[in-house]
Amino acid sequence: MSDHIIPIYKIRKKEATVQERGTYMIGISFNKRDFEYDAYTLVKAFYPQEEVENFYTEEGQEDKAWDLLVRITYGEEETHLSLERDGEIIFGEAARFEKGQDRKERKNILKQILYRGLVQETGITLPWGNLTGIRPTKIAMGLIESGMSNAETADYMRRTYFTSNAKTALAVTIANRERDLLKDIDYRNGYSLYVGIPFCPSICLYCSFSSSPLARWRDKVDEYLDALCRELTYIGETMKVRTLDTIYIGGGTPTTLEPEQLERLLGHIEACFPVEQVKEYTVEAGRPDSITREKLMAIKRHPVTRISVNPQTMNQKTLDLIGRKHTVEDTRHAFALARECGFDNINMDLIVGLPGECAEDVRHTLEEVRALDPDSLTVHSLAVKRATRLHLFREQYEEMTFENNQEIMDMCMDYARESGMGPYYLYRQKNMSGNLENVGYAKPGKAGIYNILIMEEKQSILAAGAGASTKFVFQNGERIERAENVKDVTNYITRIDEMMDRKRIGLETYLNIKSGDGGNGKYTEASD
């Protein structure tokens, strides 16, 4: 136990819980506004299906019929944290904070206490310990770059965040591979470009991205491209003073565009940017039902180096359930077409934890994918977000099972290794099945550089299109500013001048920084 932490025992009587509600209610009480989000997300990691509510002592909700009450009381010298049930404290510790103590250190101590209490209460541990953010490898990379050895980095992560041995090793392994893959990129003087195509053949059950069904917007696609090309022209002109490292065209599904529309977009990008110099140029072809030979050839006529063909699963019953309007055979056909057209760097995305799928269903998908022999594979753990149909209409799917566990993730890793792939990037999302992670695997020389750059936040990414988010990175990631585009397609088209103005404000700051301010090598512990 840390020298800053002492056990406490204190009884506070409250009303009994009301089990008849049928819902387990968890309250988190604060006497001031500090670290609310960190506490909430950690509690939700232990209780993903339960109702969790933050409130403040002045709101007088302590006597509500909570099944579990987490009480956080900040004092001048000590912070007390307790877990209470039926008016009794079942866990309690206090942390002594030194005057002027670093905020990140105080947050880490508080999360350590809360984690120990929740482990005691639930009897379970989490694979990523008390980490609740999306970038655990960013922490590992920052520690290594600060001068720590791999062993020291691993020890720090286990002691500070209670990460499991397996996840710690994975984070350190990936951090080192990322460093090797990025060693030739000048973060300070370079940038990446993201181009968003917000249309899909249909909207998947689990999807929370800024995408729209093509049938509804087909008559607006050319207008959308008009606005998008204007934004790209502005970015290209403004960013001539910086080196373009990678281009990523995503969505949505970029191949919902017709061949001539793809030609128009890719040709405009070539006219605005030095595409012959980029280290990687990706088009996320994505949905097999949107891929044709004509579209692939249109892409191939431009210096695109990497594409995706994303089945998500190779089980037809699941495809039908989640709203993918393609067949397993469509995936095989689209992949074969891409190879015939000369693409030698093809990624495939899979999702584990899809409704109704068990370990054997995942194994079947992996066998099918291995037979196709893609160059890289991204394995996503299903994350059910608020904006998805799976969440909004969850009562329709209450009888469905959502199976994901470490054994399934290990099986995916084994298949990737047997296919000659190693892990090269990792990230997490809120509400992930099994509280696990998304991992990218790739054969030698086939790793997605853009994927690493966006996750590690080492380089600015200029983003164009509806729902696109530009990220300006300063001081080696110590400070990040964003410029967001509106998500609605019509609003994007009619307000395109405003979207460019939003970027202009950020660019004035970003491009005017003094040389040396953009990457001083100073280490500040990264956020998870």
Going residue by residue through the chain (528 aa), what tens digit of pLDDT does each one get? 444 544 443 333 333 333 444 578 999 999 999 999 999 999 999 998 889 999 999 888 887 889 999 999 998 888 999 999 988 999 999 998 877 788 899 999 999 999 999 999 999 999 999 998 889 999 999 999 999 999 999 999 999 999 999 999 999 999 999 999 999 999 889 999 999 999 987 655 655 555 566 667 788 999 999 999 999 999 999 999 999 999 999 988 999 999 999 999 999 999 999 999 999 999 998 789 899 999 999 999 999 999 999 999 999 999 988 877 889 999 999 999 999 999 999 999 999 988 889 999 999 999 999 999 999 999 998 875 444 444 434 445 445 555 678 899 999 999 999 999 999 999 998 767 667 899 999 999 999 999 999 999 989 999 999 999 999 998 877 889 999 999 999 999 999 999 999 999 999 989 984 434 443 333 334 445
Summarize pLDDT for 454-506 with one digit per residue, the tens.
999 989 999 999 999 999 998 877 889 999 999 999 999 999 999 999 999 99
User: 62-75 pLDDT, tens per residue?
Assistant: 878 899 999 999 98
Residue 126 is classified by DSSP as: -
What whole-number distance in Å separates Cα of residue 289 and Cα of residue 487?
A: 24
Distances (CA, A) of 190 to 22, 243, 485, 526: 54, 4, 22, 21
pLDDT score, position 19: 41
Residue 380 CB neighbours (<10 A): 23
The pair of structure tokens assigned to 430 is 């809120």
User: What's the one-letter identity of residue 320?
Assistant: D
Torsions phi, psi of 459, nearest 5? -140, 145
User: Could you give the CA distance from residue 30 to residue 37 in angstroms, rounded to a whole number?
Assistant: 11
Alpha-carbon gap, residue 414 to 115, rounded angstroms: 31
| Closest among 380, 387, 384 to 398, alpha carbons compared | 384
Q: What is the pTM of this model?
A: 0.86
Measured between alpha carbons, how far is residue 128 from residues 45, 91, 253, 290, 383 in Å? 10, 22, 32, 37, 16
Alpha carbons 219 and 378: distance in angstroms, whole number: 33
The CATH T-level fold of domain 5-122 is Rossmann fold (3.40.50)
Q: Could you please report the per-residue DSSP string of 189-215?
A: TEEEEEEEE-EESS--TT--SS-EEHH
Strands 422-427 vs 78-85: parallel, antiparallel or unpaired: unpaired
Task: Give the C-alpha separation, 306 to 449, whole Å.
Answer: 11
What is the fold of 184-511? Answer: pyruvate-formate lyase- activating enzyme (3.80.30)
DSSP-assigned letters across all residues of 291-338: --HHHHHHHHTTT--EEEE--B-S-HHHHHHHT--S-HHHHHHHHHHH
Distance CA 366, CA 248 (A): 26
Q: Torsion angle, CA of 16/19/20/22, rounded to 10 degrees?
A: 140
Query: What are the residues facing 227 on neighbouring strands?
Result: none
Domain 5-122 identical in fold to domain 184-511: no
**26 bridge partner residues:** 52, 68
Q: Where are the domains of the chain?
A: 5-122, 136-181, 184-511
**Bridge pairing between strands 438-442 and 422-427:** antiparallel
Residues 286 and 253: their CA atoms lie apart, in Å, by 6
For residue 454, give the 3-state DSSP assignment.
Answer: helix
